[in-house]
Chains A and B, each alone.
Chain A
C-alpha cells in the first residue's frame, strides 16, 4: 500500500462549489504539506503543518483552507472554487529532522 494517499484522484467541479481534497499517510511523519503544480510554475506551497496543532500559510494560501484532523490526515478545502484553481494538487510529508519530502500521487482538479 502507498505511504501517502490522496482522494479523490480526479475531480471536475463547477465555479462556486466547495471542494475538499484529503490526504492520509502511514509514514508516521509529523509534517504535512499541500502543493499545487501548474505548467511552467512548478510546485507552489499552499499550506503546511508541522504537527497537529500547527498550521501555516504557504506562498499561495488565498482561496484555500486546511484542517489537520490527526497526525496522519491533512485536508485541503477550496471554499468557493474558481477556474484558476484548476491544477494538480499534491500532498507531501516529512519527518522532524530531514528535509526530504514524500509525495502522494496527486489530485487533478478541474474547475469549470
Chain B
C-alpha cells in the first residue's frame, strides 16, 4: 500500500462548479501538507501549504486537513477553465532537528474544467 493515495481521475466539471480533490495517507507522522498544481508540460507549482489539522483559505482555494481520518482535501470554488491541470498532494513528517524533511507525493488528480 502506498503511503499517500490519490484518485488519478480524470475529473471533469463544468465551469463555475465547486471541485473537491482528496488524498488519504497512512503515515501518522505527517504534519505538513501541501497541494501542487501542474499544468501540462510544466513543473509542479506550490498552491497551498498547511500545518497539522484545520482549514486554510486563499482566494478560491481552500485546503482542509483531518488528521484523525488521515484525509486532506483541496476545494476550488467557481472553477475556471484555467484551473484545468493535475493537482498533486504532498506531505512531510514532523522533524526533531528543526530542519525540513523530504516530501511524499500523491500520484496526482487530473482536472478538466469545461466551458
Contact = CB atoms under 8 A, between A and B. Distances in A.
Whether both chains belong to one complex is answered with: yes
A43 B92 CA distance: 14
Q: Which 8 A-B pairs have the closest CB atoms?
A: A42-B107, A103-B43, A99-B92, A43-B105, A99-B100, A99-B32, A103-B44, A105-B43
Given A103-B43, A106-B41, A106-B42, A43 B88 contact: yes
Chain B interface, >50% SS class: loop
A69 interface: no
Contacts of B45: 103
Interface of A: 4, 31, 33, 40-43, 45, 48, 90, 92, 94-106, 108
11 contacts: A4-B43, A33-B102, A40-B107, A42-B105, A45-B102, A48-B102, A97-B100, A98-B100, A99-B103, A103-B45, A106-B42
Given A40-B8, A103-B44, A103-B45, A31 B107 contact: no
Contact of A41 (B43, B90, B107): B107
A86 to B, nearest CB: 15
B99 A96 contact: yes
Instruction: Give the interface centre of B6, B43, B102 by most chain A CB atoms within 10 Å.
Output: B43
Contact of A104 (B36, B43, B98): B43
Nearest to B31: A99
Contacts, number: 52
A51 B110 CA distance: 34
B34 A99 contact: yes
Which range contains the number of B residues in contact with the other chain?
20 to 34
Q: Which of B6, B44, B98 has the most CB of A within 10 A?
A: B44
Given A41-B107, A99-B34, A99-B92, A106 B43 contact: yes
Given A42-B107, A42-B108, A96 B100 contact: yes
A101 B102 CA distance: 9
Contacts of B103: 99, 101
Given A42-B88, A99-B103, A100-B46, 5 more contacts: A42-B6, A42-B107, A94-B100, A101-B103, A104-B43
